[in-house]
């Protein structure tokens, strides 16, 4: 299972790192793996880069948008898409500072909806060194959206 963290990046940092997303990824990766002695420094750096997410509103919006779709369910605070026709299993949990997306496949049906609701989303997998701005990813992979 692949685990992606999705962050809402502040506008000034999107323009700074849009052409060099690897730099942004390395900053976030260093924060992710930071030792306990550097927590305060990491927290301050994280707060400079990341814009908070309105968890309650986004949770509600996703549920309202997807609840009549057969492959979608919500268990507690986890949104789940289990679409056998697309061979997709995606689980999304929304927090105030990031979203956590677990996938079996390479693409999630949550991506287009998240991009329509939130701008400046940066997606990264710290264990597989995979990262992208969601907007760019969707533009380059239009064939996946049906």
Going from N- to C-terminal start, the domains of the chain cover 2-144
pLDDT value of residue 142: 65
- In this prediction, residues 107-134 reach a mean pLDDT of 94
DSSP 40-69: HHHHHHHHHHBPP--HHHHHHHHHHHHTTS
Q: What is the pTM of this model?
A: 0.92
What is the per-residue pLDDT across 15-43, written as a single tens digit (0 to 9) for each? Answer: 999 999 999 999 999 999 988 888 888 88
- Over the chain, what is the mean pLDDT? 92
Q: For residue 144, is pLDDT > 80?
A: no
- In this prediction, residues 47-55 reach a mean pLDDT of 95
What is the per-residue pLDDT across 56-93, written as a single tens digit (0 to 9) for each? Answer: 999 999 999 998 878 999 999 999 999 888 889 999 99
Q: Structure tokens of 67?
A: 């609840």
Task: Kindly report the CATH number that applies to the domain delimited by 2-144.
Answer: 3.30.310.250
Side-chain-side CA neighbours of 12 within 13 Å: the count stands at 4
């Amino acid at each position: 299972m692949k685990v992606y963290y999705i962050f809402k990046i502040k506008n000034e940092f999107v323009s700074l790192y849009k052409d060099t997303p690897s730099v942004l990824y390395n900053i976030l990766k260093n924060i992710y793996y930071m030792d306990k002695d550097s927590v305060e420094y990491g927290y301050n750096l994280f707060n400079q880069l990341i814009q908070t997410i309105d968890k309650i509103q986004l949770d509600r919006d996703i549920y309202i948008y997807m609840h009549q779709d057969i492959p979608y369910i919500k268990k507690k605070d986890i949104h789940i898409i289990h679409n056998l026709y697309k061979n997709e299993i995606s689980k999304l949990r929304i927090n105030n500072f990031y979203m956590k997306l677990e996938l079996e496949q390479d693409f999630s049906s949550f991506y287009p909806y998240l991009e329509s609701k939130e701008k400046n989303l940066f997606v990264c997998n710290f264990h597989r060194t995979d990262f992208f701005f969601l907007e760019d990813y969707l533009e380059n992979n239009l064939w996946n959206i049906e």
